[in-house]
Amino acid sequence: MAYASTLSLRELRQDLHAHPESGWKEFRTTALIAAALDDREFTLHLGSDAVAEDERLGVPDDDAVAAAIERAREEGAPEAYLERMGGITGLVAEKTFGDGPTVGVRVDMDALERTESSDEAHRPAKLGFASTHPNEMHACGHDGHTAIGLGIARDIDDDGGFDGTLRLFFQPAEEGGRGGKPMSETDLLADIDYFLALHLGLGNPTGTVIAAYENPLSNAKLDATFEGAPSHAGNAPNEGRNALHAATAAVQNLYGIPRHADGATRINVGKFESPNPQNIIAEEARLRVEVRGRTAELNDYMLEKARRVLDHAAGMHDVSVETGLYGKTSTFTADDEMVEAVLASAADLDDVTETVPRLDIGGSEDASYLIRRVQDHGGKATYVGIGASNEFGHHTSRFDIDEDALDVGVDVVCQTIRTL
């Protein structure tokens, strides 16, 4: 029996929490879940069968991927599934229980690149399941999402009550908006009748269910590298071409992009690097820029303007600039039929204390691409919020979840699937 098959949902969540894997490095997580679902005779789609390889965004370099595979192997990932992945994370698992509708469920698997708190008051540290990986941490609840995904498979497989096909999407690289689009480009979304994505927490206590988080801001993340020429800042400053100066000009003007009358737009420079001593004209500078828009069109407006600013800042200072899209998301609105199904299902559960029909999610979410793909083919979709009490906010070093929410998440989704 596969290792993950022997664990309760809480045990699985804590195991994944102790072994976090950031985007496109989720080899152990993918392999463990694949093995557990293989035990239950689910059909598995791994690697390039689960995501469109050429559509991936923000992929780590080959050395980083190789190191992640080796670490997964050392930490007990079953070799057979590592081989089937072919260096690409992501899993879609399906099983047919009858002639009814095809229902898809998407959960994300990746961790954040940040260091977890070692404070003894932090529950994972106190109980011994804090991250064992430097600069990687499950600070957003994706470990819980993955556990819920397996829990849904177990519940439907064991207890029945669903006459259709269940298709589970274990998505890599949600952070940064890198994995949703490539997963949406496969044919596995084309025939889905009903689709649910989900998220734990987001400021809501355990027992609260939001039938539809919707209208996220469209988002794009852009990496820019300025390349100039070095020279001695004292002896020959005129011989250099200052990449740092170009980058600072870009930052100032990026924040000056006019807002748009048609709706909300955002821009932020989240990272600025120029590794250079003080007496050398800087030959390289790097930026990571993020834009957002209430609609995909507004997001594209901001992205176009940002690229123009970067190009002209480089030209002003006689340096070159290369840009690359690190991640991108879109937006969506949930379908009424799905909202009503989730509300009706949640109302029948003892552990649900409050239901909310719809809320704007506020941030960005790359499940948007999967949801829109389903809707474009005539399917119905929603993005469900599962309250999970958490004293500290998402993406903080002391993030944790109330693990009672895992069972709530499984019950809400499975009840909805059976209703559909």
- Record the tokens describing residue 406, joined without a space: 């895992």
* 45 touches 34 (CB < 8 A): no
Strands 194-200 and 102-108 come out as: parallel
Kind plus residue range of the DSSP H or E element containing 418: helix 404-419
Q: Does residue 145 have a known ligand-binding role?
A: no
Neighbours of 126 (CB within 10 A): 11
Q: Kindly provide the residue ranges of all beta strands, DSSP E only, lying in 136-231, ordered along the sequence.
A: 165-171, 194-200, 208-210, 213-214, 218-227
- Record the tokens describing residue 160, joined without a space: 């029945």
**In whole angstroms, what is the distance from residue 410 CA to residue 149 CA?**
8
Tokens 């609609």: give the residue.
295
Q: Does residue 414 have a known ligand-binding role?
A: no
Backbone angles phi, psi at 287, to 5 degrees: -125, 150
Q: Kindly provide the residue ranges of all beta strands, DSSP E only, lying in 70-212, ordered along the sequence.
A: 91-96, 102-108, 165-171, 194-200, 208-210
- Record the tokens describing residue 240, joined without a space: 């250099």
- Record the tokens describing residue 102, joined without a space: 């095809």
Residues 6+ apart with CB under 8 A from 259: 265
| DSSP helix, strand, coil percent of the chain (3-state; round to 5) | 40, 25, 40
Tokens 């000056």: give the residue.
256
Q: Does residue 199 have a known ligand-binding role?
A: yes
Q: At what angle do helices 9-18 and 404-419 cross, to 10 degrees?
A: 120
Q: Does residue 17 have a known ligand-binding role?
A: no
Q: Does residue 175 have a known ligand-binding role?
A: yes
Radius of gyration of the chain (CA): 23
- Summarize the annotated binding site for Mn(2+) as residue ranges: 140, 142, 175, 199, 395
- Summarize the annotated binding site as residue ranges: 140, 142, 175, 199, 395
